[in-house]
Amino acid sequence: MNNHVTVLEIDGNALLHNLNYFKQKLQPNTKILAVVKAFGYGSDGVQVAQFLEDKVDYFAVAYTHEGIAIRDAGVKTPILVLHPQIPNLTAIVKHRLEPNLYNFKIFNAFLKLADETPLMNYPIHIKFNTGLNRLGFWHTDIPKIISTLKETNHVKVQSLFSHLAASEDIEEHDFTINQINNFAYIAQQFYKHLGYEPMLHILNTSGVVNYAKAQFDMVRIGIGLYGFGNDIQETLQLKNTHNLKSIISQIHFIQPGETVGYNRAFVAKRPTKSATIPVGHADGLSRKLGNKKGYVLINNKKAKIIGNICMDMIMVDVTKIDCKEGDEVIIFNNQEMLEAIANASETIVYETLTAISQRVKKVLM
């Protein structure tokens, strides 16, 4: 049992609000795939999937073990594994996960497994590279893929998809439209020659916001589900889902000239009251937040981090705050605080969220 007093509370009402916000942007028949990879963007992918099971059409994870954890929790909703590896294909079938086949090596390996098992019409997904240049077949691979698929009934293409490279950047509008058009061309070739019509999806969170006409059959909601729209106005319409809390373990009274923390990074210039909090860089806080670049909230007042962030603890200045040992500490509980942490850490909110350590207790409220 995890008895760490530092807790990440996952706001179920906020999750539902965000999901419904994107739903109202969609056509009635457009399906929703909820992305719960990376432990649900630093929260808890299993708990989030359990909560959303009857509210979405699909889940997506990055790796096989993430999907297995969700299956083992009893979730029956289809799960797309975005980046499967050949050694995991047997486990994918065992747990009824659905692989993304993105090049001929894994494509042929899975078809061989499907033939030897044998499987019948097992759902697969095929990804095409339309400009992100990360994973995916090229459009020139279409004839060979279709020819191979026509020779087997062991698999069936559940969806064709691609990924936008810059859907949040309006200055890349032409590039994004070109990606969408290329994907539409790929889909036409499959619809014309395959003999049936797989689902199509290319839009991510920012894609839903900026290119709603390209919904096709399904959209993938990732960061938007957790309260961020990659756009200030969109984010204002969403609710924060991650609330990281702790407590004050000890209070110290520091005299002028005394120091706090490793390398004596903080030197008191006046009588200072400091509070030690059991959360550190092993819990996901960047060391760049030290030395007054970051802050926490104690009794609704900002307490700046002093000295270097330790592995398991931070110390904050509470000289002007009425507080005591055991009082609650808010590391973050809104989008503004998360943005401030990301900026001070010289990174993006994605990294701030997914950096939250697995030793932090996660509770869906």
Inform me whether the pLDDT recorded for 179 exceeds 90. yes
Instruction: Name the nearest CA neighbour of 244 among 305, 334, 343, 317.
Output: 334
Can you tell me the mean pLDDT for 95-104?
98
Q: Locate tokens 């509070």: which residue?
A: 275
Inform me whether the pLDDT recorded for 269 exceeds 90. yes
pLDDT at 35: 98
Start-to-end C-alpha separation, the chain:
18
Indicate if 242-364 has the same CATH topology as 12-231. no
pLDDT at 247: 98
Mean predicted lDDT score pLDDT of the chain:
97
The per-residue pLDDT for range 337-365, each reduced to its tens digit, is: 999 999 999 999 999 999 999 999 999 99
Residue type, 228: F
pLDDT at 3: 84
pLDDT at 1: 72
User: Which phi and psi (to 5°) does residue 114 adopt?
Assistant: -65, -35
Return the active site residues.
37, 262
The per-residue pLDDT for range 75-95, each reduced to its tens digit, is: 999 999 999 999 999 999 999
Inform me whether the pLDDT recorded for 59 exceeds 90. yes
The per-residue pLDDT for range 219-235, each reduced to its tens digit, is: 999 999 999 998 899 99
Residues 213, 209: Cα–Cα separation, whole Å: 10
Can you tell me the mean pLDDT for 263-278?
97
Can you tell me the mean pLDDT for 28-34?
98
Sketch the domain layout of the chain as residue ranges.
12-231, 242-364
pLDDT at 2: 76
The per-residue pLDDT for range 290-316, each reduced to its tens digit, is: 999 999 999 999 999 999 999 999 999
CATH of 242-364, one of 2.40.37.10, 2.40.37.20, 3.40.50.720, 3.40.50.10490: 2.40.37.10
pLDDT at 230: 83
The per-residue pLDDT for range 181-203, each reduced to its tens digit, is: 999 999 999 999 999 999 999 99
User: Which phi and psi (to 5°) does residue 231 adopt?
Assistant: -160, 135
Give the CATH class of 12-231. alpha beta
pLDDT at 4: 87
pTM over 0.85: yes
